């Protein structure tokens, strides 16, 4: 079946602009995760959604970052007033059940902030 998809594949923006990154998880997967991959920090957890439960936002680096998941499926990660240090690859993953923890990743969105 279809895997996790993310759009756009690449995004170039100017400092101070807002950006939205989209993730379509595998159908039927109730858990959805966002990670950030940057040269200096490696792979970092950002946020986690599980069903209708309140998301775990403990990994979000600042209040400029937010995410929502509509209808238990598609998720959008929003970065407001982008900064150059936000430049990274943003990876989305989904899993069938959180406790099983085998996460399937999308191809990521490469964000470049000029």
Partner 1 sequence: AQTVTQSQPEMSVQEAETVTLSCTYDTSESDYYLFWYKQPPSRQMILVIRQEAYKQQNATENRFSVNFQKAAKSFSLKISDSQLGDAAMYFCAYNSGGSNYKLTFGKGTLLTVNP
Minimum Å gap between C-beta 16 and partner 1 is 26
Minimum Å gap between C-beta 27 and partner 1 is 18
Minimum Å gap between C-beta 30 and partner 1 is 11
Q: Should residue 104 be labelled a site residue for partner 1 when binding is judged by CB under 8 A?
A: yes
Strands in 1-114 per DSSP E? 5-7, 10-13, 19-24, 31-38, 42-50, 65-69, 75-79, 88-95, 104-105, 109-113
Q: Should residue 102 be labelled a site residue for partner 1 when binding is judged by CB under 8 A?
A: yes
DSSP code of 96?
Answer: S
Helix (H, G, I), strand (E, B) or coil at 84: helix
| Contact status, residue 13 vs residue 82, Cβ threshold 8 Å | yes
Binding site for partner 1 (CB under 8 A): 31, 33, 35, 42-43, 45, 48, 50, 56, 59, 89, 91, 93, 95, 98-99, 101-108, 110
């Amino acid at each position: 079946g279809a895997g996790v998809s993310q759009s756009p594949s690449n995004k170039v923006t100017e400092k101070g602009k807002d950006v939205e990154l989209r993730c379509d998880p595998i159908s039927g997967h109730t858990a959805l995760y966002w990670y950030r991959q940057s040269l200096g920090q490696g792979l970092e957890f950002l946020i986690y959604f599980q069903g209708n439960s309140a998301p775990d936002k403990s990994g979000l680096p600042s209040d400029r970052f937010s995410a929502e998941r509509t209808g238990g499926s598609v998720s959008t990660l929003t970065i407001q007033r982008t900064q150059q240090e936000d430049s990274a690859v943003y990876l989305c993953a989904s899993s069938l059940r959180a406790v099983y923890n085998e996460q399937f990743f999308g191809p990521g969105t490469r964000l470049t902030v000029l």
